[in-house]
Amino acid sequence: MKIDAKVYQNAERLHWAYRQGLVPGGQVRPLYLEGGQRFWYARRTGDDKEIILVDPAAGTREVVAEPPAAPGDFLEARSPDGRHVAFRRGHDLWIRSEDGQEGPLTTDGRQDYEYGTAPDVMKPTTIMRTLGIPDLPPAVAWSPDSARIVTHRTDQREVRETHWIEARPADGSEPALHTKRYPYPGDEQAPVAELVVLNAEDGTVVRAKSEPVNMPFFSPIQMRWLWWSQDGEAIYYLDQPRDYQTLRLNRLDPDTGEVTTIVAESGPTRVEPNQFLGAPPMVEVFGEEVLWYSQRDGWGHLYLYDAATGEPKNQVTSGEWAVREILRVDEQGRVVYFTASGLVEENPYRRSVCRVGLDGSGFAKVADDDLDHVVSLPDSGEYFVDSASTVITPPVITVRGWDGRVIVELERPDVSGLEALGRRAPQPFRVKAADGETDIYGVIHLPPDFDPARRYPVVDSPYPGPQTNRVSPAFDQGFFGYMSEQIAALGFVVVALDGRGTPGRGKAFHDESYGRLATAGFLEDHVAAFHQLAETRPWMDLDRGVAVFGMSGGGFATVRAMLDFPELYKVAVSICGSHDNQYYQQGVGEMYDGPGADYTESSNTEDAARLEGKLLLIHGGMDDNVSPQQTLRLVDRLLAADKDFELLIVPGADHLFIGYEHHMLRRLWDFLVRHHLGAEPPAGYRLTPAPLDMDLISGFFS
């Protein structure tokens, strides 16, 4: 059987659908003006883009010809009064005034011991070279009065170096060596941040009188783990030792450098300010009080502390649900606003906007519905932008007041363009995990011509966390959701779910992953789910087994599925997989597997000889997030075991395959069609290369 080219064309149209604005207004990314009094956003419609200006106070929304304010240079950090910018030059920080005069704030920076920079390990250097981006924004925070800057000196001097060979640089010259500091789990040396306060007016330097801050992934300033008090009299920051079993809130005196600990909490596993890595920490300091997030009762809740004594005052939220993000603290009204998951019986991942008194009384939903709410708000906190949807319900995006009333409706997206391509809304489901007790949730993507009387080959699309979810409770299913829709359009049923150990629920559920990275997001739960789903969905053809594909951590899970459950998983495409945790990022192994773990347990290379079935490995040769050596180490062991497999190394490709995405996708589609659908792809079919989408790129770097 040969696949008709129209099938590939339809899948490709779905690939382009989100890029080309077939869901106009599906997302709103507000850019706030004048402290949030107004904001604007770009609305894409086909090849065109509209600029929408919103004035919440006036209740207006209008189309304007140009953005109301040009964005500043993202490599500069402007002071609150707008009179100065801080920027990096060489290894030091500099300042420039509005009249153009500039000078250094530091002069002793040097290679691998420099000011205002993030650690190398998560810096997307290959993508930056591709896009011509010379650096990331400086890691600095201005004081409210624009007089001082807090930053850090990043020390990577003794951190392990990892190397990449660029086989053919863009100019066609000889192979080039690229090196970055990239530590592995268990290494003695790790990147650290030495906190320092710089006076922008007189050049005074005050260094924190404390140990440097552990910095496994990003700058604490970029992670919002460090901030100024509202009056500028103190700097607050969170820090953790490398075992991640203690979290401390510290106060840094910007005049003296003295550091005192206000609140500290320890536990037998990870102690986190948010289960989602990179999400805002749920800690607020206001007046003489601290709001502190803790999972000490088994759920993520807020607690009120005395900022002067560090003593607890009362628990603010409680119940078998989890706080997800602090939105606003109304000090005068003694109320905190936040999002929470677990309040909707149908799906515990849906986020609700809530309020409660700081004494724990008066809990209520601000938006009293069962939708999932994605929220953005300005620094002023006078209102919030709310995108309310479900997996099957397109979003309604509004500006709301804190009483829940709609001030301005922004978007009510038309999804008819997607439906015209045959896109079917994912089917949500709930089944039992492999333990037979725990509820787990996911979605099923169906082919455009779905007929329940037919039987369809089934594909699994895993991402194991433990730092994020695979399935979103919102209409927008994100990058992996888009890939799943495209593959479903080829004639497959594609399943995605979150097994035990992933975030967004209770502490015990998340802790299932602690010390168990080898389970790859509890693949045994995936196996259990497939058998339960097939009992009531006879159109899921498990007789031919299940195919599986994934990227990055999902690439690791893809191969792990083939190794651990060969009776079910028969075909696999692993893309840029982190196959050998011994030689992957230090922070991932030490945070999620625990200190001193046997990292070989979460290494696919150790078990490569057990491979059965059809496997395609794809990796970018210049992937500096998950190094190509991760795949090549696996290849070495597969060859040693004389296993058959296919390998595609894309020499110049980064972790996102920018410029090569069309080829990577076609090879993924072709492999699944040949080996799982049992058909031949359309001869000579080629996907159209994607132009650089600067909206997506700017979101990636923001």
The number of beta carbons lying within 10 Å of the beta carbon of residue 449 is 12
Q: Tell me: the pLDDT tens digits for 213-260? A: 999 999 999 999 999 999 999 999 999 999 999 999 999 999 999 999
Strands (E) across 6-117 are located at 31-33, 38-45, 48-55, 60-64, 76-78, 84-89, 92-97, 102-104, 113-115
Mean pLDDT, the chain, integer: 94
Distance CA 310, CA 305 (A): 6
Answer whether residue 283 shows pLDDT above 60.
yes
Distance CA 445, CA 494 (A): 5
Give residue 215's pLDDT: 96
Kindly indicate the confidence band of residue 314, based on its pLDDT and cuts at 50, 70 and 90: very high
Give residue 21's pLDDT: 57
Domains and CATH numbers, the chain: 5-21+416-701 (3.40.50.1820), 72-156+191-269 (2.140.10.30), 272-365 (2.40.10)
Rounded mean pLDDT, 94-113 = 95
Rounded to two decimals, the pTM is 0.95
Q: What angle do CA 369, 372, 377 make, to 5 degrees?
A: 100
Q: Tell me: the pLDDT tens digits for 652-701? A: 999 999 999 999 999 999 999 999 999 999 999 999 987 766 555 554 44
Strands (E) across 75-212 are located at 76-78, 84-89, 92-97, 102-104, 113-115, 141-142, 148-155, 161-166, 176-181, 192-199, 205-207
Q: What angle do CA 105, 108, 109 make, to 5 degrees?
A: 90
Rounded mean pLDDT, 182-204 = 95
Give residue 697's pLDDT: 53
Q: Which two tokens stand for residue 45?
A: 């419609």
Answer whether residue 19 shows pLDDT above 80.
no
Please give the full DSSP string across 279-319, using - where no structure is assigned.
SPP-EEEETTEEEEEE-TTSS-EEEEEETTT--EEEE---S
Residue type, 220: P
Q: Tell me: the pLDDT tens digits for 507-528? A: 999 999 999 999 999 999 999 9
Give residue 183's pLDDT: 96
Kindly indicate the confidence band of residue 71, based on its pLDDT and cuts at 50, 70 and 90: confident
Give residue 648's pLDDT: 98
The number of beta carbons lying within 10 Å of the beta carbon of residue 376 is 16
What count of Cα atoms within 13 Å lies in the side-chain half-sphere of residue 206?
Answer: 17
Q: Which two tokens stand for residue 78?
A: 């402007």
Question: Cα–Cα distances in Å, from 510 out to 104, 146, 338, 513, 516?
Answer: 46, 41, 21, 6, 11
Q: Tell me: the pLDDT tens digits for 150-191? A: 999 999 999 999 999 999 998 999 999 999 999 999 999 999
Distance CA 549, CA 160 (A): 31
- For residue 7, what is the enclosing H or E element? helix 5-17
Percentage of the chain modeled with pLDDT above 70: 98
Distance CA 250, CA 640 (A): 52
Short-list 196, 183, 127, CA closest to 156: 183
Q: Which two tokens stand for residue 170?
A: 């863009």
Kindly indicate the confidence band of residue 417, based on its pLDDT and cuts at 50, 70 and 90: confident
Residue linked to tokens 């602090």: 326
Give residue 701's pLDDT: 43
Distance CA 72, CA 88 (A): 15
Kindly indicate the confidence band of residue 625, based on its pLDDT and cuts at 50, 70 and 90: very high
Residue linked to tokens 């060969």: 566
Q: For residue 259, what are the β-bridge partners?
A: 252
| For residue 466, cis peptide bond before it (omega within 30 degrees of 0) | yes
Q: For residue 161, what are the β-bridge partners?
A: 181
Rounded mean pLDDT, 365-394 = 95
Short-list 543, 546, 540, 545, CA closest to 452: 540
Helices H, strands E: what count in the chain? 11, 40
Rounded mean pLDDT, 301-322 = 97
Q: Are the CB atoms for 75 and 137 separated by under 8 Å?
A: yes
Angle, helix 5-17 to helix 478-488, in steps of 10 degrees:
160
Kindly indicate the confidence band of residue 73, based on its pLDDT and cuts at 50, 70 and 90: confident
SS3 at position 590: helix
Per-residue HEC secondary structure of 512-548 comes to CCCCCHHHCCCHHHHHHHHHHHHHHCCCEEEEEEEEE
Rounded mean pLDDT, 450-474 = 96
Residue type, 401: G
Distance CA 384, CA 375 (A): 7
SS3 at position 387: strand
Q: For residue 387, what are the β-bridge partners?
A: 374, 397
